[in-house]
Structure 1
Amino acid sequence: MTTRAKPQGQPAPRTGSASLFTEADGVWLPSPTAAGPWGADRLHGGAVAALMGHHAQRALGAGRALTRLSTDFLGPLPALPLQVRTHTLRAGRSFGLVDVRVSADGTEIARSSALGVRAAELPLPGLPGEPAPPPRASGLPSYEPGGGAPSFNRDAVRVTVVDDPANPHGGTAWARLETGLTGSDAAPPWAAAVALADLTYGIGAALPPDRYRCVNVDLTVHLLRPPVGEWIALRARTRTGPCGRGIAEALLLDDSGAFGRCVQTLLISEE
Structure 2
Amino acid sequence: MSYWHRTGPRTFTPTEHVGGAWDLKTQHIATLLGVLAHEIERDRDNRRDDGLRISRLSYDILGTIPLEPVDVEVTVLRGGRTIELVEARASHAGRPVVLLRAWLTADYPTADLEGTHHVTMPAPDQVPAWDMTAVWGGGFIASVEVRRRDLGPGRAQAWVRTPHRLVADEGVSRLAQVAGLLDITNGVAVRVAPEDVSFPNLDLTAHLFRTPGTGWLGLDTTVSFGQAGAGVTTSVLHDEHGAFGISTQCLTVRP
Task: Please point out which of 162, 179, 185 is paired with 2:164.
Answer: 179
Q: Aligned pair 1:53/2:56, yes or no? A: no
Give the whole-Å Cα distance in 1 for the aligned partners of 2:154 and 2:92.
Answer: 38
Give the whole-Å Cα distance in 2 for the aligned partners of 1:58 and 1:69.
Answer: 15
Task: Please point out which of 188, 200, 206 is paired with 1:221.
Answer: 206
8 A contact 1:80–1:105 mirrored in 2: no
2:108 corresponds to: 120
The structural deviation recorded for 1:187 is 4.5
CA offsets, 1:171-209, max 9 Å, x none? Answer: 111000221111256753212221221111211222343
For normalisation by structure 2, the TM-score amounts to 0.89
Judging changes above 3 Å, is the alpha-carbon distance between structure 1 residues 135 and 267 closer, same or farther for their aligned structure 2 residues? same
Corresponding pairs, count: 250
1:244 corresponds to: 229
Task: Please point out which of 35, 52, 74 is paired with 1:64.
Answer: 52
1:14 corresponds to: none
**SS of the counterpart of 1:41?**
coil
Judging changes above 3 Å, is the alpha-carbon distance between structure 1 residues 149 and 170 closer, same or farther for their aligned structure 2 residues? closer
Q: Aligned pair 1:20/2:7, yes or no? A: no
Aligned-pair identity in percent equals 26
Judging changes above 3 Å, is the alpha-carbon distance between structure 1 residues 188 and 90 closer, same or farther for their aligned structure 2 residues? same
Q: How does 1:1-271 map to 2 (within 5 A)?
A: 18-26=1-9, 27-61=11-45, 62=49, 63-125=51-113, 127-137=115-125, 140-145=128-133, 151-155=139-143, 157-163=144-150, 170-184=155-169, 187-270=172-255
Amino acid at match of 1:32: E
Give the whole-Å Cα distance in 2 for the aligned partners of 1:204 and 1:184.
Answer: 33
For normalisation by structure 1, the TM-score amounts to 0.84
Unaligned runs of 5+ in 2: none
Amino acid at match of 1:19: S
Higher strand content, 1 or 2? 1
**SS of the counterpart of 1:60?**
helix
